[in-house]
């Protein structure tokens, strides 16, 4: 079992040189930062990826939200609950449904679930498979978010640099669009401490084009990517493995920009998986034998007609003789009440 390790934030907070930024501000900023146009994907949607529509955003402030399916949404706690878009339509949350995800010691993580109103006509989007095992160092990931994009290159000089070398950063755009990119995991055992939240997190780093660890669509999160998704493909199946919450940058990097070496933090979905399943999965997809018949979930439990079925205890289809008996007794009941009414009328 993995145990909580205290925050060292090795990549981020060493000697106070780094600044940790939650990826949310009240802007309509969108999209990820790429090192150069050649790294930006040419395809608007990742190839052979079935969950593009499950990554969405809040209606007004614009940060990212992951739709888990079955009416439940996951986002960062600092983003919070709100109306979200699904397939272009607005859906309203059930305000009583929110749950902050918790660590083993009961402290709160910067991650929360909320449910859309039960009376909504929800789109037919799939249940997102959740990674059981944490992302491993060097594992390549697909990241999707609505954070800001790269606008232009800015040049700056660190006043503490004795050589006064020119450095570069990418200024964020004011707005953008939903985008995807790739990166490679650096660490999977960070505990991110921000405000009152402690979040088990994985990290990835924004690498320059000539780095041996750069990925084909190397991307760094920016403001607005909070709540954005980190997916991994294992044995041919795409799994949700992280939810972006924060970036760290060198303290002196110009504001609202990204530079090589910046780190993105994402909540480790495998760590919070059992809690997510407990709240957000219907009985036929919660990995438990809810009715004690020894069969777990769809398709193994014969009472589950689909993974989205809310109960493992469906009334079995009536046999013909049972149906006939009920029909007769129903008919009998109607007959009795008609006779009773007639008697009342007669008296």
Smaller CB distance to Ca ion: residue 93 or 149? 149
Least distance to Ca ion from the beta carbon of 83, Å?
A: 30
What angle (nearest 5°) sits at the alpha carbon of residue 112, between those of residues 48 and 203?
Answer: 60
Least distance to Ca ion from the beta carbon of 151, Å?
A: 21
Report CA-CA distances (Å) from 284 to 93, 199, 301, 315, 339: 23, 29, 8, 14, 46
Least distance to Ca ion from the beta carbon of 84, Å?
A: 27
Smaller CB distance to Ca ion: residue 126 or 261? 261
Smaller CB distance to Ca ion: residue 132 or 174? 132
SS (H, E, C) the chain: CCCCCCCCCCCCCHHHCEEEEECCCCCCCCCCECCCHHHCCCCCCCCCCCCHHHEEEECCCCCEEEEEECCEEEECCCCCCCCEEECCEEECECCCCCEEEECCCCCEEEEEEEEECCCCCCCCCCCCCECCCCCCCCCEEEEEECCCCEEEEEEEECCCCCCCCEEEEEEECCCCCCEEEEEEEEEEEEEEEECCEEEEEEEEECCCCCCCCCCCCECECCCCCCCCEEEEEECCEEEEEEEEEEEEEECCCCCCEECCCCEEEEEEHHHHHHHHHHHHCCHHHCCCCCCCCCCCHHHHCCCCCCCCCCCCCCCCCCCHHHHHHHHHHHHHHHHHHHHHHHHHHHC
Least distance to Ca ion from the beta carbon of 56, Å?
A: 25
Smaller CB distance to Ca ion: residue 173 or 286? 286
Smaller CB distance to Ca ion: residue 194 or 215? 215
Least distance to Ca ion from the beta carbon of 209, Å?
A: 11
Least distance to Ca ion from the beta carbon of 118, Å?
A: 20
Q: How many Cα atoms sit within 13 Å of 23 on the Cβ side?
A: 42
Closest CA to 22 of 267, 278, 297, 273: 267
Smaller CB distance to Ca ion: residue 161 or 293? 293
Least distance to Ca ion from the beta carbon of 294, Å?
A: 7
Least distance to Ca ion from the beta carbon of 23, Å?
A: 17
Least distance to Ca ion from the beta carbon of 278, Å?
A: 11
Smaller CB distance to Ca ion: residue 75 or 215? 215
Smaller CB distance to Ca ion: residue 41 or 82? 41
Smaller CB distance to Ca ion: residue 295 or 314? 295
The residues binding Ca ion (CB under 5 A) are 183-184, 205, 207, 283, 286, 288-291, 293, 295, 297, 301, 312
């Amino acid at each position: 079992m993995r145990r909580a390790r205290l925050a060292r934030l090795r990549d981020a907070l060493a000697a106070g040189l780094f600044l940790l930024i939650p990826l949310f501000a009240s802007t309509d900023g969108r999209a990820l930062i790429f090192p150069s146009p050649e790294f930006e994907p040419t395809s608007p949607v990742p190839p052979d990826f079935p969950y593009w529509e499950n990554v969405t955003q809040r209606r007004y402030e614009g940060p990212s939200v992951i739709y888990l399916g079955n009416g439940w949404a996951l986002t960062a706690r600092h983003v919070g609950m709100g109306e979200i878009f699904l397939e272009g339509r607005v859906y309203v949350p059930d305000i009583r449904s929110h749950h902050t995800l918790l660590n083993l010691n009961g402290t709160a993580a910067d991650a929360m679930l909320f449910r859309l109103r039960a009376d909504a006509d929800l789109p037919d989007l799939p249940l997102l498979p959740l990674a059981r095992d944490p992302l491993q160092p060097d594992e390549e990931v697909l990241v999707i978010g609505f954070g800001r994009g790269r606008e232009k290159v800015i040049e700056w000089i660190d006043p503490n640099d004795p050589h006064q070398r020119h450095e570069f950063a990418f200024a964020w755009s004011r707005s953008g669009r939903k985008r995807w990119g790739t990166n490679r995991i650096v660490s999977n055992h960070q505990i991110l401490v921000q405000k009152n939240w402690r979040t088990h997190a994985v990290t990835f780093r924004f690498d320059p084009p000539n780095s041996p660890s750069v990925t084909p669509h190397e991307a760094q999160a920016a403001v607005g990517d909070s709540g954005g998704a980190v997916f991994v493909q294992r044995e041919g199946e795409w799994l949700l493995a992280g939810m972006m919450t924060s970036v760290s940058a060198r303290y002196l990097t110009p504001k609202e920009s990204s530079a090589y070496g910046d780190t993105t933090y994402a909540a480790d979905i495998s760590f919070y998986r059992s809690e997510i399943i407990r709240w957000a999965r219907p009985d036929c997809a919660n990995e438990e034998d809810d009715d004690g018949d020894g069969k777990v979930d769809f398709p193994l439990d014969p009472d589950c007609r689909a993974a989205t079925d809310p109960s493992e205890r469906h009334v079995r289809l009536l046999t013909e003789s049972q149906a006939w008996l009920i029909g007769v007794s129903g008919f009998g009941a109607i007959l009795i009440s008609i006779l009773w009414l007639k008697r009342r009328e007669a008296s």
